Structure 1
């Protein structure tokens, strides 16, 4: 072997050793504490998730119910916190009378006795609807929640007033920048210490507005999470954290996590240093992120002594596994 090849081999060996030492967990501090649990939509009625499309009416595919809670309601949020959730996720739509309605669907037809696009109505109208109207687990033979959800659609203002100290994740359902302006105006009225307990995610345009207006609020959108994760896979070995990963809520599918340099402890430490918080989801299967870590089998895929965040639809099942 000539000298040039020897030098090249030595340089490669040194670089490899440096990358290893910079990313090995043997030299990384472990963040103590139990995982942070995020309850997606509070405690909700589950549904058959096979072959879902954007316009699938999930209320019509409800699985046999084990509880009486309806998603995105004050009661379901309160129950999820009591069950061990540290953070509650909720969905919001602007209304024609200046409020934000807490409701998941783009339209009212599936889940309620109303009709039309959610944001094209006033909150006064939405308050009159039965949000349990469309739930059925037997193809429409019975509707166990019909008549029980009248007036249960809350406003964002009501949620903030009911849970003044609890951590919240707000999902902006649309992509209109004006939604970001309106939401930023609402959050800007809160004390700085309260805003520090709130995260925002959703459409690229409104989330970017919130990110610009309120730099103390952690945010993430489809574009920024892709930029964050792909950037980190590309050059995170160096210890450099992509800009998109700063001051963010980092949503990380469990099957993508092993690709993160320094996973888990060094990765979590780097995100913490960037003022970001990591939440692991279920497996990414292309096109869409999975909804959550919802079974003991999925939970078992997390590293031992994992202390980051966990996104779940089954807070009642997952909380006992972490001792909450």
Structure 2
């Protein structure tokens, strides 16, 4: 007669394995539920005011973005003008704020006499009647230029802004004086760290309440130099963006935000945004708690892509509470305001 173990001993290991599996399954489901709830934006609602609008270069002339690269002369590609404003002028910034912008972005360059002027290009030929690099001219030289001289919507058949832009290249001091209580985003166009230092020298003269309305972005080196001097200023560079988001992807499911994401300006391409934990509004709220502003940009983050039309606006997440990058504040602000 064969020898057998008691039934309860035969069943013991199987029963234990089943119990372990049930516990593991329960833990897995619980963790999945935690991750889902902890990163669901339906728990982070809008205050009803709509997103903030960031006007790129003020209210500016637009152009076809297809094939545009960093060295493309976009003044030769503009659409038929619908308004009289030229980018990076005080008039264009005022028009943007009047149209409904909450934040205005502008570009800066440094002159031969170490003044910070508001202008996009390193070279003068594309937009103006001047030649050479901005850095090779004094402020007085630049004041005499026509910053609308070479804008053409029809490949040189006409130049509708010639004569209208004389003396309109402002200094950074003039821009901040013109809009003393408005939010401004400064684009440091150079890759030279000394220009980040120069910007820091100027910003250090401003009171804390004014600095709270300013942010800056640009090349890795000048922004690193600027941030080292002014750690409370919101800043952005490619290196900062990569460091912050890679670390956030690793831990963000817990609701934690890495310290490297504090006091930043994050420009998130819409193509990649859904892969961020808590996108959209939980992510926006978490970053805001760290003093960081989140701006959504159109497409995959290519050259200056913005939410510029009604079709673009419909792609925004429902109830989005962050900021929106636009090249056509005049078209987009009414869409936000009637929503």
The two structures have a TM-score, normalised by structure 2, of 0.90
Matches within 5 A, 1:1-324: 2-3=17-18, 4-28=20-44, 30-284=46-300, 288=302, 290-323=304-337
- Cα distance in 2 for partners of 1:71, 1:284 equals 24
Worse-matched range after superposition: 88-97 or 232-241? 232-241
**1:112 touches 1:133 (CA, 8 Å); kept in 2?**
yes
- Cα distance in 2 for partners of 1:254, 1:124 equals 42
CA deviation map 1:256-299 (0-9, x unaligned): 221121122211110111111111110116xx365211111111
**1:283 touches 1:290 (CA, 8 Å); kept in 2?**
no
Task: Report the CA distance shift for 1:230/1:297 in structure 2 as closer, same or farther (over 3 A).
Answer: farther
CA deviation map 1:131-187 (0-9, x unaligned): 111111111111111122111111111111111111110000011111111101111
- Cα distance in 2 for partners of 1:289, 1:24 equals 31
Deviation of 1:126 (Å): 1.0
- Cα distance in 2 for partners of 1:54, 1:252 equals 20
- Cα distance in 2 for partners of 1:13, 1:25 equals 20
Deviation of 1:56 (Å): 1.1
Q: Aligned residues, how many?
A: 322
Task: Report the CA distance shift for 1:55/1:118 in structure 2 as closer, same or farther (over 3 A).
Answer: same
CA deviation map 1:81-112 (0-9, x unaligned): 00001111000011111210100012111111
Deviation of 1:62 (Å): 1.2
Helix, strand or coil for the counterpart of 1:189?
A: coil
- Cα distance in 2 for partners of 1:84, 1:190 equals 26
- Cα distance in 2 for partners of 1:125, 1:289 equals 30
- Cα distance in 1 for partners of 2:273, 2:145 equals 41
| Structure 1 unaligned blocks of 5 or more | none
CA deviation map 1:1-47 (0-9, x unaligned): 83454443333222212211211234335445331111100011111
The two structures have a TM-score, normalised by structure 1, of 0.94
Helix, strand or coil for the counterpart of 2:185?
A: strand
- Cα distance in 1 for partners of 2:254, 2:134 equals 46
**2:65 touches 2:303 (CA, 8 Å); kept in 1?**
no
The structure having more radius of gyration, on CA atoms, is: 2
**1:90 touches 1:102 (CA, 8 Å); kept in 2?**
yes
- Cα distance in 2 for partners of 1:297, 1:118 equals 38
